[in-house]
Structure 1
């Protein structure tokens, strides 16, 4: 049975570590890193887990464009992370972020939600498991500038939609994950 999981939490709260641990014994996991480079701690944990469990993971760094196109024959996927992907899409669609209006914000949200939905749909077809990692915006203070406020609003709305679509949702705090859905 397919499974879609969202793990949310603050920076350095253990989200990526938990996701890698959750799938550590699975072979041929596709790790989609939206940052240009996977951080060395996460890379080290994956390599250690692969050695311990005699498994092989496929790591793609600097994911751009439509991430669903990268899901081919992998049954297990980690998408790390929705916050940096949101930032990429926002900058790509509207380079002058501070001048976008509410309608344009909705267009960005729609694009991101569509991309994640497309990945979730592929997971359902192949009967796989996908973990989406994101930053929790609900605990943050009001941003000082308009660009940060726009980003927070878009990511917050996207997080809510993806959480509602996911089979399970976990909140990560201080390295402990709490199942909230």
Structure 2
């Protein structure tokens, strides 16, 4: 909905900046977390870079990606990083704030590619240490519902929960977006 994006058109009152800062924005599907994260990135100095983890595997996902691009518009740069998120962060450091959207899609990509999730998370952790430019991560809060009935879904839910905890622990700030409203958690 355009309403949530419009609600974040001006920077939040608590915007602060320090080199290499890291923000985690979490929430449910269609909660407004991407629009909020975009507003935060635009409030920081420099040209923002959108690091996309989604892949257009079908028509519906192609349409979602197009809608995100249209909403962002200029001045955003874009890097597609469905698997090598650590490499994308290293390559874009020093060029302005980066917005990674999203960690849970990245995790899904890793699982389908049968990559070692712990090793990928460790590479990501190393990549964010010592960054000069700010990083804003968007992720989904997936563990607030019922226990999934199949093994793959439970494995994903558990891995996403662990990844979110690890990122939140080292983040300077954590925001939970609910129905278009951000709530500061950390």
**TM-score, normalisation: structure 1:** 0.78
1:22 alignment counterpart? 40
| 8 Å CA contact retained: 1:112, 1:158 | no
1:64 alignment counterpart? 83
- Does 1:33 find its partner at 2:52? yes
Give me the whole-angstrom Cα distance separating, in 2, the residues matched to 1:62 and 1:76. 16
| 8 Å CA contact retained: 2:23, 2:173 | yes
- Does 1:162 find its partner at 2:175? no
2:155 alignment counterpart? 150
| 8 Å CA contact retained: 1:32, 1:63 | no
| 8 Å CA contact retained: 1:113, 1:162 | no
Give me the whole-angstrom Cα distance separating, in 1, the residues matched to 2:161 and 2:168. 10
Corresponding residue to 1:8 among 17, 26, 31 = 26
Give me the whole-angstrom Cα distance separating, in 2, the residues matched to 1:164 and 1:62. 23
| 8 Å CA contact retained: 1:7, 1:169 | yes
1:61-140 correspondence to structure 2 within 5 Å: 61-65=80-84, 66-93=87-114, 107-108=116-117, 110-123=118-131, 126=132, 128-140=133-145
Which structure 1 segments of 5+ residues have no match?
51-55, 95-106
Q: Work out the number of aligned pairs and report it.
A: 158
**TM-score, normalisation: structure 2:** 0.76
Give me the whole-angstrom Cα distance separating, in 2, the residues matched to 1:23 and 1:74. 13
| 8 Å CA contact retained: 1:86, 1:112 | no
1:103 alignment counterpart? none
Give me the whole-angstrom Cα distance separating, in 2, the residues matched to 1:91 and 1:69. 24
1:42 alignment counterpart? 68
Which structure 2 segments of 5+ residues have no match?
1-17, 57-63
